[in-house]
Structure 1
Amino acid sequence: MTRPPHLDPRLVAVVAVGGAVGTAVRWVLTQTIGTSPSGWPTATFVENLLGSLLLGALLEALLRRGEESRRGRLVRLAAGTGVLGGFTTFSSLAIEIERLLAAGQVTMGLLYGVLSVVLGLVACVAGIVLASRHHRWRHQRLPGPDEAS
């Protein structure tokens, strides 16, 4: 009997290592971008939108490969759950909304929360569309079995 995936220490390690990588990349981006002078949490906003775009693209690309293989599962867990899970941050989003509201910047706090969710969904769909178009473009470029030399 095989162990369920969530109890497999190798898969848990893959997610943990990916999460460490994603968190480190997010930290670098946060240090580079920071917060705007108006108080808008620019770094987290960019990280969450970029992460949503990349996650949409990754999952669409993996879906286009057909039934999930062992390698596909590792990629999904390492890159999706791990790296992009560590790169995006719902907890920072929540804390930043709370800080904006507590500072009396109610409009900015609400706008930040709503735009993060709505544009995150739009970014995810954009990632899906981009990966889908890339898949079609790639397969149109490849010669068929009768065309190969």
Structure 2
Amino acid sequence: MGQSRPPAVEEPVDPDIPPPARRAPAARGQLPVLCAVSAGGGLGAAARYGASLLWPTAAGTFPWTTLFVNVAGCAVIGVFLVLVTEAWSAHRLVRPFFGTGVLGGFTTFSTYAVDIQHLVDGDRAATGLAYLAATLLAALAAVWAAARLTRRAIAWRTR
């Protein structure tokens, strides 16, 4: 069967050397971050759901609402990250709350993948491929353009 381990040998304790400091479990220190991300995620998901109610997409058609939500969310994150890294000194929970939580809950790349699958399953592979490429390119362009314009606005404002 298995091998047994020899008993652990205890090191002698030197009374002149303090024991190593014990750290709080990492999870306890991350609780405020977890709460910020969770609260922001709920708000972002609610906003995304609201967008889908305002602009519903019929089954089998091009998912314009999801495309718009993802591109808009990417543009906002481009602005936000420039502001919190180059223009403001934000509280440590602002990025997890808004960047990860709100914008992570708002943008919906899981729905993007499901939309592509539905289009392909519905014999609309060309539309699915176009949607796949359009979302990727538009989202990247939105982040880049928004970050660039925000940097220009900051530079213009500080002249």
Deviation of 1:7 (Å): 5.4
CA deviations 1:41-90 (Å, max 9, x no partner) are 11110000000000111111112137xx660x311111100000000011
Q: Which residue of 2 aligns with 1:63?
A: 85
CA distance in 1, matches of 2:106, 2:27: 23
Scaled by the length of structure 2, what TM-score is found?
Answer: 0.79
Deviation of 1:4 (Å): 4.7
Q: Which residue of 1 aligns with 2:114?
A: 95
CA distance in 2, matches of 1:88, 1:37: 20
Q: Which residue of 2 aligns with 1:20?
A: 42
CA distance in 2, matches of 1:61, 1:6: 29
Per the alignment, do residues 136 and 4 of structure 1 end up closer, same or farther by CA in structure 2, a change over 3 Å counting? farther
Unpaired runs of 5+ residues, structure 1, are 141-149
Per the alignment, do residues 8 and 59 of structure 1 end up closer, same or farther by CA in structure 2, a change over 3 Å counting? same
Unpaired runs of 5+ residues, structure 2, are 1-22
Q: CA RMSD in A?
A: 2.2
Percent of residue pairs identical: 31
Secondary structure in structure 2 of the residue aligned to 1:8: helix
Q: How many positions carry a matched residue from both structures? A: 137
Higher helix share: 1
Q: Which residue of 2 aligns with 1:144?
A: none
Scaled by the length of structure 1, what TM-score is found?
Answer: 0.83
Per the alignment, do residues 106 and 79 of structure 1 end up closer, same or farther by CA in structure 2, a change over 3 Å counting? same
CA distance in 1, matches of 2:124, 2:29: 44
2:96 corresponds to 1:74: no
Q: Which residue of 2 aligns with 1:110?
A: 129
Contact 2:84 2:90 in 1 (8 A): no
Please tell me whether Structure 1 or Structure 2 has the larger radius of gyration of its CA atoms: 2
CA distance in 2, matches of 1:132, 1:70: 17
Per the alignment, do residues 113 and 6 of structure 1 end up closer, same or farther by CA in structure 2, a change over 3 Å counting? farther
